[in-house]
C-alpha cells in the first residue's frame, strides 16, 4: 500500500533515513498504514465536504433562479390578468346596454357606467341588494308586477327571462337576464338593460295609427270592429243591449268641392268633435272613411235610448259649424241597428245600420231611420235587380209601353205617355217603381233614359198623324246631365221631328228638390221647343209662386185627386182649383188616372181637356197602340153600356 | 445482577445462573461456537446478530464474537422468535406476531434484534408496540453486514438465521432500565419533497430520481453505494415542523433509480440531506449516555448495550472508539459495555412513549437491578 503523500513528506522530513531503514519500515508499517489511511479518509471527507458545499450552493442558486422565474411568470400573469380585466372592463363600458352582475345572494359584483345611467344609480344603491331593488322598484310603473316576476326568478336560478319595464318617467327599458355559469355551476346572474323608449314610442304610435283615423284622431274601422266585438261579448254575457249607428253627412261632397279640401278636412274634425261631445263615455265614435261615421252605443238601458241619442246627434249637427271663419251647415242621414233585435254579430249590425242609413237618405236625408227586415229585403232585391238590370237593355228585356192620352171631349187619342216595361229572361215583370230607383243608383238611368227617349222619338217619327205627341218621364239624375238637352236636340233633328211633339215629364217633388238644376235643364229644352209637364201635381211641397218662374207648359193632376173626385168634396175643390190655376197661367192640364166614367164626367164638366187612365186605355205596346188608333172612338153614352 | 464479558475463551464450567447471553458475532463465528456457548451457559437465552462492527468495553473492532453473559437476581427473561417468511414479509404483522408470542405479565422491557436488510423497521416496531402493555418500551437494533449490505443474520439459541427477528422480554419489578439515543448529524441544503415512495423505498425527491441526487453529491464515491450513501442520511421533517427522524440507505436499485431505507419514507414529507460533524457525533454519544443516566443512576447501571450506526463508524473511521470512550466517560466505570454497529437503531423518540427506528444514532440501553 502506498502511503499518503503528506505522510511521505513528513517521513522524508522527520525520518530522513526511513527510506533506507528496512527494520524501521517493518516496525512502523502498521502504524504508518493506519496513519496514511486516516489521512486519506480525511482527504476524502474534506473533498466530500467541499463538494457538498459546492453542490448545495449550486442547488440553492438554481432554486433561487427558479423562484425568480416563477416570480417573473407570476408578475407576467398578474400583468396579463390585469390587462384582461382592463379589457373586460373596457368592453363592459363600451356596450350600450347596462350590465349588472350579481352573485347568488344578490350582492352586486360587477356593473358598468351605462347601468348607472339607465337606472339612475348611485354608489349607495349598489352597496346592498335590498337598496338596489327598492331603488329600481320605485322607478317602475307597476312595481308589484315586476316584484312577482323577480320572485319567481329567485326560485329558479337557472331560468332565463326577457321583458319590458315601464318607468314612471316615461322611459321604456327592455331587459334580459340569465344565470352566470362557471364550470357548469351557477355562480350568479347577469342582467342587461336597454333603453327602448324610442322604439316603444314608435311602436305605440304605429299601433295608434293603425287603429285611428289620422285626420280626426277618432278610432278607425278596425278598432271600432274590435270594440264592437268586445262590447257584444259583454252584452251577450250580461244580456245587455247596445246599438250601432251609421252616420253619413248629407251635403259634404258639395262643400268639399266648392270650399276646398282643406275646409272639408276642418269640417270633418269639427263634426267629429261635435259628435264626440254629444256621446257618453262608454260610447265609441269612429270615422270609417270620407264623410261616414260609426257610433257604438254601449250599455243601453232600453231601445228608446238609442233613438234619443240618435236624435240628439242629428240635432247637434243641424247647428251651423264655424270653419275657417265660415259658417257651414251640414246635416246627416243616420241609420241605427240594435242588439240583439236587429243582429248579433258586428258585421250584421254595421251592415244593417248602413241599410237603415240609406233608407234615411232615401227618405229625404237629415233624419234617422231604424233598421227593419224589410230594408234588408229591399237591399237584397235591389242588389238582385241591379245585377239583372245591368244587361237587361242589351238583352232586349226592356220595352216601351204607350198609354194613350185622350181628349176628354171626344175620347180622341191625341198622344201617348211612354213608359218603360221590363220583362226579365225568366218572364218576370219588374215594375218601373222598382227598377227605376235601382237604375238611378247605378247610373244606368242615363242609358235607360236615352233609350226610352229615342224609342219615343222613333215611334213619333213612324206616326202618320203629325198631331200626335209623346210624353217621356225624366228622372232627377237626368236633370243633372248637362249634355242631355243637346243630345235630345240632335235626336229630334235627326228624325226631322218637331220639338213641340215631345213632352218631358218631371215630378213636382223633383222640381222642388232641384230647383236650380231643373230650371236650367228645362229652360234649355224649352228653348228648343220641347214641352215640359209637371207630373203628380198637387202632391209635392208646392209653393205657388214658383209656378211663375218655372219653365213649364203642362200640369198633370195627380191621380189621387182624380180617384177621389167621386167621393171627396175637397178633391173636387182642388181639382177645380188646379184647373183654374192652369187656365190663368195659360198652362195645359192633363188628368192622370181616370178609371171610371164618373171621374171622366166630372173632369169634363170642370173644363179639363185632356186625360189618361185605365178607363180609356191601359199602357199598350206600340202595335196595340197602332191598332187602337185605327178604332173609331166610342161615345160616352155608348161606353156606359 | 452479574455481567461478564468474554472475547475469546468461554468458561469451561457451566454457569447455570446465566439467563441471557448477548453473543454479537459474525455468522461464521457464531455457528462455530454456538455449541460451546450452550455448554457454558446451559440455561441462558443465547441472543445476537451479525453487525458492521462489535463493541467490547471501550474497544471497537471486527471481533469474531463478543459474548456478554448476564444473570439477574430478581428478574427473568423470555423471548419470541420469528422468521420473516412466516409472515409473508409484512413487517407490521411480524411485529404483532412477536408481541403476541411474548408473555405479558411482569414485562418491563423488550430488546429487539431484527434483520437489517429486509425489514421495514418502523413498521416492525409499530406492530410490536401495539401488542405491548403501557409503559413497556422497545429498544434494539437491526443486524448489519459490514459495509457489504448483502445479508444479515439474527441468532437465537441454535438458530443463526437470515431474515429473522428476535424479541427479548425482560421481567421483574427490580429491573432498572434506562435508554438514550442521539445522533450528531446536521442537515444542510434545501428541503426536498418526497414525491414518490412506497413504504421504505424512496423513488423520487422533487420529482427527480433519488438515486441521481445521491450520485451527484457523492461524485466518484457513488461507485461505493450503498455504503457511501451512509455519509448522507436524510432527515425527515416531522409533521408541523417538529424534528423528525433520520434515515439511512440500505440499498439502491440502478434500474428504477430507487433507494431502500431502513424505515418508512412517507410521501409528502420533506427531507434534507445530512452530514456528520465529528465533534457532534461524539457529543451525540455522550448525550445518549446522559439520557440513560436520567433514568438510571450510575450506581445501578450494570450493563450498557450500545447499538451504534454503521454510518457513524464510517465517518469516525479509526477514531471510532472515541464515541465509546465518550459513553464510558458519561456512564462511569461500572457498567459493562457491549453492543454492535447496526443498520438501524430502535429506541423511544426522545422522551415520548413511541418507539421508533432511528438511524445514524448511538442508541444505548442501560440495565440494572435494584
Predicted ipTM of the assembly: 0.73
Does residue A638 register a pLDDT over 70?
A: no
Other CB atoms within 10 Å distance of the CB of residue B170: 23
What percentage of chain A's residues is helix, strand, coil (to nearest 5)? Answer: 55, 20, 25
In CATH, the number for domain B185-275 is 2.40.10
For A486, residues 6+ apart whose C-beta sits below 8 A from its C-beta are none
Question: Tell me: the pLDDT tens digits for B141-174?
Answer: 999 999 888 999 999 999 999 999 999 999 999 8
Averaged pLDDT score across all residues of chain B: 90
- How far apart are the CA of A182 and the nearest CA of chain B, in angstroms? 32
Of the residues B228, B231, B279, the best mutation for testing chain A's interface (the one with the most A CB atoms within 10 Å of its CB) is B231
* Residues B235/B242, Cβ–Cβ less than 8 Å: no
- Contact call for A37 and B318, based on CB within 8 A: yes
Report the pLDDT averaged over residues A381-406.
86
Q: Give the residue, A514 or B256, on which the prediction is more confident.
A: B256
Cβ–Cβ below 8 Å for B318 and A49: no
- 3-state class (DSSP) for residue B124: helix
User: Which residue on chain A is closest to B217 by alpha carbon?
Assistant: A52
Distance CA A632, CA B259 (A): 162
pLDDT for the residue A381:
78
Does the domain at A397-631 match CATH 3.20.20.450? Answer given as yes
| Angstroms from B226 CA to nearest CA on chain A | 16
Question: Would you call A443 helix, strand, or coil by DSSP?
Answer: coil
Question: For A170-215, what is each residue's pLDDT tens digit?
Answer: 888 999 999 988 888 888 889 999 999 988 889 889 999 899 988 9
Least confident among A324-333, B44-53, B292-301, B341-350: B292-301
Kind plus residue range of the DSSP H or E element containing B303: strand B303-309
Residue B243 is predicted with a pLDDT of 65
| pLDDT over 80 (residue A1) | no
Cβ pair B317:A55 closer than 8 A = no
Q: How far apart are CA A598 and CA A572, in angstroms?
A: 12
Residues of B with CB below 8 A from A63's CB?
190
Q: Which residues of B touch A52 (CB under 8 A)?
A: 188-189, 217, 232, 273, 275
pLDDT in tens, A10-64: 888 888 888 888 888 888 888 889 899 889 888 888 888 888 888 888 888 988 9
Chains A, B: CB contacts within 8 A come to 35
| Residue A637 clears pLDDT 60, i.e. is over it | no
Interface test with A, best of B219, B230, B277, B316 (most A CBs within 10 A): B219
B220 → chain A, closest CA residue: A48
CB atoms A34 and B190 under 8 Å: no
Say which residue the cell 214641352 belongs to: A531
Rounded average pLDDT over A273-296: 92
| Pairing of β B2-6 and β A292-300 | unpaired
Q: What average pLDDT does range A503-512 have in this prediction?
A: 85
Using 50, 70 and 90 to split pLDDT, how confident is the model at A396?
confident
In B, minimum Cα distance to A31 occurs at B318
CB of B254 closer than 8 Å to CB of B144: no
The pLDDT value given to residue A29 = 87
Q: What is residue A572's DSSP assignment?
A: H
Q: How many residues does chain A have?
A: 641
Give the whole-number percent of chain B exceeding pLDDT 90.
Answer: 55
Q: Do A59 and B315 touch (CB under 8 A)?
A: no
Contacts of A41 in chain B (CB under 8 A): 317-318
Contacts of B231 in chain A (CB under 8 A): 48
Interatomic CA distance for residues A385 and A441, integer angstroms: 11
Contacts of A60 in chain B (CB under 8 A): 189-190
Poorest-confidence range of A57-61, A628-632, B7-11? A628-632
pLDDT at residue B1 above 80? yes
- List residues of chain A with CB under 8 Å from any CB of chain B: 34, 37-38, 41, 44-45, 48-49, 51-52, 55-56, 59-60, 63
Q: Least CB-CB distance to B221: which of A34, A37, A48?
A: A48
Q: Are A475 and A456 in contact (CB under 8 A)?
A: no
Q: Quick one: which of A190, A170, A176, A167 has its CA closest to A119?
A: A167
| Arithmetic mean of pLDDT over chain A | 87
Asked if B190's CB is within 8 angstroms of A59's CB, the reply is yes
Q: Are strands B201-205 and B185-198 parallel, antiparallel or unpaired?
A: antiparallel
Q: How does pLDDT run across B240-255, given as a tens digit for each residue?
A: 666 678 888 888 998 9
Q: Which residue of A32, A38, A41, A48 to mutate against B (max B Cβ within 10 Å)?
A: A48
- Which one of A34, A49, A60 has the shortest CB-CB distance to B318? A34
Q: Judge: B317–A59 Cβ closer than 8 Å, yes or no.
A: no
What residue spans in chain B does CATH classification 2.40.10 cover? 185-275
The Cα-based distances of A301 to A235, A277, A342 in angstroms read 12, 20, 16
The lowest-confidence range among A115-124, A253-262, A487-496 is: A253-262
Q: Name which of A315-319, A334-338, B345-349 the model is least confident about.
A: B345-349
Find the residue in A nearest to B214 (Cα). A52
Intra-chain end-to-end CA distance of chain B, in Å: 9
Chain-centre distance of CA A385, in angstroms?
30
Q: Which residues of B touch A51 (CB under 8 A)?
A: 217, 219
Nearest-angstrom CA–CA distance, A228 and A244: 9
Q: With contacts defined as CB-CB under 8 Å, which chain A residues touch B234?
A: none
Strands (E), A397-549: 398-407, 412-423, 429-430, 469-473, 502-507, 531-537
- Contact residues, chain A, for B221 at CB < 8 Å: 44, 48
- Residue A268 pLDDT > 50, yes or no? yes
CA distance A108 to chain B (A): 40
Cβ contacts (< 8 Å) between A46 and chain B: which residues? none
pLDDT of residue A277: 92
pLDDT tens-digit map of B272-329: 998 888 889 999 999 999 988 887 766 678 999 999 999 899 888 888 999 999 999 9
Band (pLDDT 50/70/90 cuts) for residue A252 is confident
| Calpha distance A479→A445 (Å, rounded) | 11
- Report which of A430, A479, A424, A489 is spatially closest to residue A454, judged by C-alpha positions: A489
Instruction: Quickly tell me which residue has 181639382 as its cell.
Output: A575
Q: Which of A220-224, A327-331, B20-24 has the lowest mean pLDDT?
A: A327-331
Give the model's pLDDT for residue B211: 92
Residue B37, Cβ neighbours under 10 Å: how many? Answer: 24
Q: Does domain A98-196 have CATH number 3.30.450.20?
A: yes
Per-residue HEC secondary structure of A386-398 comes to HHHHHHHHHHCCE
Tell me which range, A540-554, A565-579, B25-39, B118-132, is most confidently predicted by mean pLDDT.
B25-39
Residue B25, all three cell numbers: 458475532
pLDDT at res. B61: 93
Mean pLDDT of A439-444: 82
Give the β-pairing of B355-358 and B164-171: unpaired
Q: Do B189 and A48 touch (CB under 8 A)?
A: no
3-state secondary structure of B252: strand
Note whether A48 contacts B188, CB cutoff 8 Å: no
- Interchain proximity A41–B317, CB inside 8 Å: yes
Most confident of A8-22, A508-522, B342-356: A8-22
CATH 3.40.50.1820 applies to domain A214-380 = no
pLDDT at A541: 63
Q: Which pLDDT score is estimated for B67?
A: 95
Which residues in chain A are closer than 8 Å to B273, comparing Cβ atoms? 52
Instruction: Give the pLDDT mean for A473-479.
Output: 88
**Cβ contact (<8 Å) for B189 and A41?**
no
Compute the average pLDDT of residues A571-582: 88
A99-118 mean pLDDT: 88
Phi, psi of A397 (to 5 degrees): -85, -15
Number of helical H runs and strand E runs in chain B = 7, 26
Rounded Cα distance between B370 and B368, Å, is 7
Q: Give me the pLDDT at residue A641, please.
A: 47
Tell me if A56 and B318 make a contact (CB, 8 A cut-off). no
Do the chains contact at A55 and B216, CB–CB below 8 Å? yes
Nearest-Cα distance to chain B for A28, in Å, is 17
Q: By a Cβ cutoff of 8 Å, what residues of chain B touch chain A? A: 188-190, 216-219, 221, 231-232, 273, 275, 315, 317-319
**Pseudo-torsion of CA A417, A423, A424, A425, nearest 10°?**
-130
B323 to chain A, closest Cα gap in Å: 17
Q: Give the gap in angstroms from C-alpha A32 to the nearest C-alpha of chain B.
A: 13
HEC profile for A261-275?
HHHHHHHHHHHHHHH
pLDDT for A635 equals 55
Q: Are A203 and A185 in contact (CB under 8 A)?
A: no
For residue A530, what are the β-bridge partners? none
Shortest alpha-carbon distance between residue A74 and chain B (Å): 21
For the segment B183-200, the average pLDDT, to the nearest whole number, is 89
Are B88 and B148 in contact by the 8 Å Cβ rule? The answer is no
Per-domain residue ranges of chain A? 1-45, 98-196, 214-380, 397-631
Helix or strand or coil: residue A613? coil
Amino acid at each position: 500500500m502506498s502511503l499518503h503523500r503528506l505522510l511521505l513528506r513528513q517521513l522524508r522530513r522527520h525520518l530522513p533515513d526511513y527510506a533506507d531503514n528496512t527494520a524501521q519500515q517493518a516496525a512502523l508499517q502498521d502504524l504508518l498504514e493506519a496513519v496514511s489511511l486516516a489521512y486519506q479518509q480525511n482527504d476524502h471527507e474534506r473533498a466530500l465536504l467541499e463538494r457538498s458545499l459546492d453542490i448545495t450552493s449550486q442547488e440553492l442558486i438554481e432554486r433561487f433562479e427558479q423562484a425568480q422565474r416563477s416570480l417573473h411568470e407570476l408578475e407576467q400573469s398578474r400583468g396579463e390578468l390585469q390587462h384582461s380585466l382592463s379589457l373586460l372592463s373596457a368592453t363592459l363600458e363600451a356596450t350600450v346596454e347596462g350590465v349588472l352582475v350579481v352573485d347568488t345572494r344578490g350582492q352586486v359584483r360587477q356593473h358598468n357606467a351605462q347601468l348607472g345611467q339607465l337606472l339612475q344609480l348611485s354608489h349607495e344603491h349598489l352597496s346592498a341588494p335590498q337598496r338596489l331593488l327598492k331603488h329600481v322598484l320605485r322607478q317602475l310603473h307597476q312595481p308589484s308586477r315586476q316584484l312577482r316576476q323577480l320572485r319567481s326568478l329567485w326560485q329558479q336560478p337557472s331560468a332565463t327571462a326577457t321583458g319590458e319595464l315601464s318607468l314612471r318617467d316615461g322611459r321604456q327599458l327592455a331587459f334580459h337576464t340569465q344565470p352566470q355559469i362557471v364550470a357548469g355551476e351557477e355562480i350568479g346572474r347577469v342582467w342587461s338593460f336597454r333603453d327602448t323608449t324610442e322604439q316603444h314610442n314608435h311602436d305605440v304610435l304605429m299601433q295608434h295609427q293603425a287603429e285611428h283615423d289620422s285626420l280626426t284622431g277618432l278610432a278607425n274601422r278596425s278598432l271600432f270592429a274590435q270594440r264592437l266585438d268586445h262590447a257584444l261579448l259583454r252584452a251577450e254575457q250580461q244580456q245587455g243591449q247596445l246599438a250601432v249607428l251609421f252616420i253619413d253627412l248629407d251635403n259634404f261632397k258639395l262643400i268639399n268641392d266648392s270650399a276646398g279640401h282643406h275646409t272639408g278636412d276642418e269640417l270633418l274634425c269639427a263634426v267629429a268633435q261635435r259628435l264626440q261631445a254629444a256621446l257618453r263615455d262608454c260610447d265609441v265614435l269612429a270615422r270609417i272613411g270620407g264623410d261616414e261615421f260609426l257610433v257604438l252605443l254601449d250599455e243601453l238601458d232600453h231601445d228608446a235610448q238609442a233613438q234619443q241619442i240618435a236624435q240628439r246627434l242629428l240635432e247637434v249637427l243641424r247647428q251651423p259649424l264655424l270653419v275657417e271663419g265660415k259658417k257651414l251647415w251640414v246635416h246627416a242621414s243616420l241609420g241605427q241597428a240594435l242588439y240583439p233585435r236587429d243582429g248579433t254579430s258586428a258585421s250584421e249590425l254595421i251592415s244593417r245600420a248602413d241599410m237603415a242609413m240609406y233608407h234615411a237618405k232615401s227618405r229625404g236625408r237629415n233624419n234617422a231611420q231604424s233598421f227593419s227586415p224589410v230594408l234588408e229585403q229591399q237591399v237584397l232585391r235591389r242588389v238582385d235587380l241591379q245585377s239583372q238590370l245591368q244587361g237587361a237593355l242589351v238583352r232586349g228585356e226592356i220595352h216601351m209601353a204607350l198609354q194613350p192620352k185622350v181628349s176628354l171631349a171626344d175620347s180622341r187619342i191625341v198622344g201617348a205617355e211612354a213608359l218603360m216595361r221590363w220583362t226579365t229572361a225568366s218572364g218576370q215583370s219588374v215594375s218601373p217603381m222598382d227598377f227605376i230607383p235601382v237604375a238611378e243608383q247605378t247610373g244606368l238611368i242615363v242609358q235607360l233614359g236615352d233609350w226610352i227617349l229615342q224609342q219615343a222619338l222613333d215611334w213619333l217619327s213612324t206616326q202618320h198623324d203629325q198631331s200626335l205627341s209623346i210624353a217621356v218621364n225624366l228622372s232627377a239624375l237626368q236633370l243633372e246631365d248637362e249634355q242631355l238637352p243637346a243630345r235630345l236636340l240632335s235626336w229630334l233633328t235627326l228624325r226631322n221631328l218637331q220639338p213641340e211633339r215631345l213632352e218631358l215629364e218631371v215630378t213636382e217633388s223633383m222640381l222642388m228638390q232641384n230647383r236650380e238644376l231643373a230650371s236650367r235643364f228645362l229652360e234649355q229644352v224649352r228653348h228648343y221647343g220641347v214641352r215640359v209637364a209637371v207630373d203628380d201635381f198637387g202632391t209635392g211641397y208646392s209653393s205657388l209662386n214658383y209656378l211663375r218662374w218655372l219653365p213649364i207648359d203642362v200640369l198633370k193632376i195627380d191621380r189621387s185627386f182624380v180617384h177621389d173626385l167621386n167621393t171627396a168634396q175637397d178633391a173636387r175643390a182642388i181639382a177645380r182649383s188646379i184647373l183654374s190655376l192652369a187656365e190663368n197661367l195659360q198652362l195645359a192640364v192633363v188628368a192622370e188616372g181616370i178609371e171610371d166614367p164618373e171621374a171622366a164626367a166630372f173632369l169634363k164638366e170642370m173644363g179639363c181637356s185632356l186625360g189618361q187612365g185605365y178607363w180609356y186605355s191601359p199602357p199598350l205596346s206600340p202595335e196595340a197602340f197602332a191598332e187602337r188608333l185605327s178604332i173609331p172612338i166610342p161615345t160616352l153614352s155608348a161606353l156606359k153600356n | 445482577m452479574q455481567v461478564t464479558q468474554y472475547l475469546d475463551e468461554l468458561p469451561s464450567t457451566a454457569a447455570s445462573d446465566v439467563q441471557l447471553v448477548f453473543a454479537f458475532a459474525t455468522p461464521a463465528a457464531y455457528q462455530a461456537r454456538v455449541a460451546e456457548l450452550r455448554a457454558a451457559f446451559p440455561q441462558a437465552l443465547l441472543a445476537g446478530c451479525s453487525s458492521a462492527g462489535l463493541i467490547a468495553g471501550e474497544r471497537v473492532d471486527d471481533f469474531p464474537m463478543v459474548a456478554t453473559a448476564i444473570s439477574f437476581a430478581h428478574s427473568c427473561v423470555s423471548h419470541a422468535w420469528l422468521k420473516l417468511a412466516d409472515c409473508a414479509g409484512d413487517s407490521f404483522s411480524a411485529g404483532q406476531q412477536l408481541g403476541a408470542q411474548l408473555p405479558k405479565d411482569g414485562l418491563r422491557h423488550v430488546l429487539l434484534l431484527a434483520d437489517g436488510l429486509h425489514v421495514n423497521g418502523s413498521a416492525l416496531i409499530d406492530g410490536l408496540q401495539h401488542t405491548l402493555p403501557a409503559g413497556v418500551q422497545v429498544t434494539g437494533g437491526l443486524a448489519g453486514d459490514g459495509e457489504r449490505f448483502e445479508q444479515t443474520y439474527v441468532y437465537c439459541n441454535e438458530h443463526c438465521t437470515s431474515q429473522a427477528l428476535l424479541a427479548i422480554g425482560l421481567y421483574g419489578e427490580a429491573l432498572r432500565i434506562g435508554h438514550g439515543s442521539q445522533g450528531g448529524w446536521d442537515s444542510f441544503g434545501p428541503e426536498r419533497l418526497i414525491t414518490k415512495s412506497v413504504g421504505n423505498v424512496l423513488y423520487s425527491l422533487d420529482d427527480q430520481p433519488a438515486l441521481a441526487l445521491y450520485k451527484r453529491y457523492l461524485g466518484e464515491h457513488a461507485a461505493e453505494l450503498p455504503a457511501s450513501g451512509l455519509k448522507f442520511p436524510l432527515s425527515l421533517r416531522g409533521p408541523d415542523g417538529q424534528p423528525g427522524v433520520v434515515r439511512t440507505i440500505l440499498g439502491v436499485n440502478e434500474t428504477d433509480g430507487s433507494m431502500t431505507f431502513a424505515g418508512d419514507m412517507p410521501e409528502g414529507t420533506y427531507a434534507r440531506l445530512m452530514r456528520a460533524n465529528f465533534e457532534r457525533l461524539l457529543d451525540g454519544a455522550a448525550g445518549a449516555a446522559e439520557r440513560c443516566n436520567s433514568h438510571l443512576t450510575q450506581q445501578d447501571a450494570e450493563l450498557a448495550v450500545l447499538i451504534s450506526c454503521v454510518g457513524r463508524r464510517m465517518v469516525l473511521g479509526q477514531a471510532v472508539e472515541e464515541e465509546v470512550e465518550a459513553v464510558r466517560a458519561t456512564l462511569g466505570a461500572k457498567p459493562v459495555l457491549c453492543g454492535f454497529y447496526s443498520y438501524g437503531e430502535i429506541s423511544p423518540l426522545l422522551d415520548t412513549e413511541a418507539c421508533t427506528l432511528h438511524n445514524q444514532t448511538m442508541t444505548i440501553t442501560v440495565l440494572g437491578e435494584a
